[in-house]
Amino acid sequence: MVSASQYVAKVLEKLKEKNACESEFHQAATEILESLELVFEKHPEFIESNLLERFVEPERVIMFRVPWFDDKGNVQVNRGFRVQFNSAIGPYKGGLRFHPSVNLGIIKFLGFEQILKNSLTGLSIGGGKGGSDFDPKGKSDNEVMRFCQSFMTELQKYIGADVDVPAGDIGVGGREIGYLYGQYKRLTNNYSGVLTGKGLAYGGSLARKEATGYGLVYFVEAMLKAEKKSFAGKTVVISGSGNVAIYAHEKATQLGAKVVAMSDSNGFIYDPQGIDLDTIKQLKEVERKRISEYMLTHPHATYTEGCFGIWNIKCDIALPSATQNEIDEQSAQTLVQNGCIAVGEGANMPTTLEGTNVFLKNGVLFAPGKAANAGGVATSALEMSQNSQRMAWTFEEVDAKLKNIMENIFAQADSAAKEYGHAKNYVIGANIAGFLKVADAMMAQGIV
C-alpha cells in the first residue's frame, strides 16, 4: 500500500488538476491535507477506502442564473452558487457571500473549511457554502430585495431545515436574510428554520449577531490563558469593520484591551486613544458608509488609503476579520518584528500559507479561522435548536453556551496537536480534531 504522504500528495495533485482555476480551494486543501498526513499514518483503513478523495469532492454543486431588475428597469444577471460539500455529520450548514469577487473556487474553499469548522463545534451540522458575485454596495434596498428574491427563487429548491440551512457571510447580514426568508416562505408556504441569522421577530437567536466576534475573542482568550496571558492591557488591531470585526472589538474591549485600528476595503483608521465603537456601528450598521468618515468626528485619528497597511501598526494581538489572504508573508514578518504575540483569524483563511508559517516558526500563538471563528456557525446551530423547539433562549444563555463551545474547541485543537506531536500548533490540531469526527461518520456510512 502507498504511504500516507504519497497518498495525500496524490490526492492533492489530482485535486489541483481537476479543479485547475480554483486557487483558493487549492490553498485551503493544501493546508488541511498536509496536516492530515499524520492521521493517515495511524489509520491505513482510511487509505484503503479512499476516504480523502471522497472528502475533497463536494457531494453536490449548484450553480444558477440570478436575473433581476435594477431601479432603472434594466435587467441585470448574476451567478448564484451553493456547494453542498459534506453531510456526514448533519445537514449542510454555512453562509452565503455576496461580493463581486465570488467564484466557484472561493465558495469551494469556504465550504471545505466549513466541514471541519462545523465538526469542531461538536454540533450536528455538515459543511456547505454559497453566494453570488452580486455587489450589494451602492444598491438601493429595493434592488437588494429584488436580487434576494430572485436568488431564493432558485435556491429554495435545494434547501430545507433538515437539508441545508444557509446564513450570512460577507455582504449578507440581517437585511438580506430577511428578504431571503420572506421569499422562501412565500414560495414554499413553510415557516421553518431554513435560514439562520434571522431577525428576532421571526425566529432569530439572541447573540447570533455578536457570536462570531465574541467567539473569536473567547477562543483567543483561552489560547492566551494557556500561556498565563490575557487580553487585559493589550493593544489590538482588527481588520474589517463588518459583523465579525465590530463584535470582536466589543468583546476585546470588555476584556480590557484597546483596539487602535480597523479597516474597510478602501483603507484603515488608526486611533491611538482606542477606536470609538459606537461611531463605527453607526457608520457601518446604520448608515452603510466608508470608514474614512470616522475622521469627521475623530480628527485626532489618521486615515490611510489601502487596506493592507493596517498590519504595519504595532500591536500585541492581531484579529484579521475582513477577507481571505489579507496577511501575506511580508505582513506576517512585520507583525512579528513589531512584537505581536497572538493572531486570531476572524475571517476565513485571512493568512496565506507563507504568512502562517512565519507565525508558527516565530512562536506567535496562531488561532486558525476554522477554530477561532466557529462561534458564528455554532450559534446558528443554537438558533436551529431554538427553532425546532419553538423556544427562545435569553442572551445570557446563548452567550454562555457560545463561550463553552469556544473553550471546548480550543481544548480539542490543543489536545489533538499534543497527541500528534505538534503541541501548540493549532492549525494541525484543529484540522485533525475536526477531520476525525467526519471521517468516523463517513467510514460508518459506507462508500457514499
Distance of CA 441 to the CA centre of its chain: 23
Minimum CB separation of residue 244 from ligand NDP in Å reads 4
Pull the grid cell for residue 138.
451602492
For the packed helices 395-419 and 375-389, what is the interaxial angle rounded to 10 degrees? 130
Are the beta carbons of 219 and 372 closer than 8 angstroms? yes
Among residues 93, 146, 198, 258, which is the contact residue for ligand 2IT, using CB under 6 A?
93
Q: Is 414 one of the binding residues for ligand NDP (CB under 6 A)? A: no
* Active site (catalytic) residues: 129
Minimum CB separation of residue 2 from ligand NDP in Å reads 35
Residue 439 interface partner, choices ligand 2IT, ligand NDP, none, CB cut-off 5-8 Å depending on type: none
From 5-13, 26-34, 319-327, 435-443, span contacting ligand NDP (CB under 6 A): 319-327
Q: Is 94 one of the binding residues for ligand 2IT (CB under 6 A)? A: yes
Tell me the C-alpha to C-alpha distance, in Å, between residue 302 and each of 139, 160, 341: 29, 47, 25
Q: Is 279 one of the binding residues for ligand 2IT (CB under 6 A)? A: no
Nearer to ligand NDP, 43 or 209 (CB): 209
**CA–CA distance, 288 with 286 (Å, rounded to integer):** 6
Closest CA to 263 of 341, 200, 319, 335: 319
Interface positions, 196-225, toward ligand 2IT (CB under 6 A): 196
Sequence-separated contacts (24+) of 100-104 with Cβ below 8 Å: 100/133, 100/134, 100/135, 101/133, 102/131, 102/132, 102/133, 103/133, 104/22, 104/61, 104/63
Tell me the C-alpha to C-alpha distance, in Å, between residue 242 and each of 210, 376, 425: 11, 13, 28
Residue 93 interface partner, choices ligand NDP, ligand 2IT, none, CB cut-off 5-8 Å depending on type: ligand 2IT
Nearer to ligand 2IT, 95 or 368 (CB): 95
N residues, the chain: 448
Residue 346 interface partner, choices ligand 2IT, ligand NDP, none, CB cut-off 5-8 Å depending on type: ligand NDP
Are the beta carbons of 432 and 39 closer than 8 angstroms? yes
Among residues 169, 271, 316, 326, which is the contact residue for ligand 2IT, using CB under 6 A?
169
Q: Is 264 one of the binding residues for ligand 2IT (CB under 6 A)? A: no
Q: Is 324 one of the binding residues for ligand 2IT (CB under 6 A)? A: no
Pull the grid cell for residue 114.
466549513
Interface positions, 345-384, toward ligand NDP (CB under 6 A): 346-348, 373, 376
**Half-sphere exposure (CA, 13 Å, Cβ side) for 128?**
30
Interface positions, 104-163, toward ligand 2IT (CB under 6 A): 117
Site track 82-121 with ligand NDP (rule: CB under 6 A), x = hit: -----------------x-x--------------------
Pull the grid cell for residue 379.
450559534
Contacts of residue 419, defined as CB under 8 A and 6 or more positions apart, other chains included, come to: none
Among residues 91, 95, 171, 215, which is the contact residue for ligand 2IT, using CB under 6 A?
95
Contacts of residue 363, defined as CB under 8 A and 6 or more positions apart, other chains included, come to: none
Site track 359-398 with ligand 2IT (rule: CB under 6 A), x = hit: -----------------xx--x------------------
Binding stretches for ligand 2IT (CB under 6 A): 93-95, 117, 167, 169, 196, 348, 376-377, 380
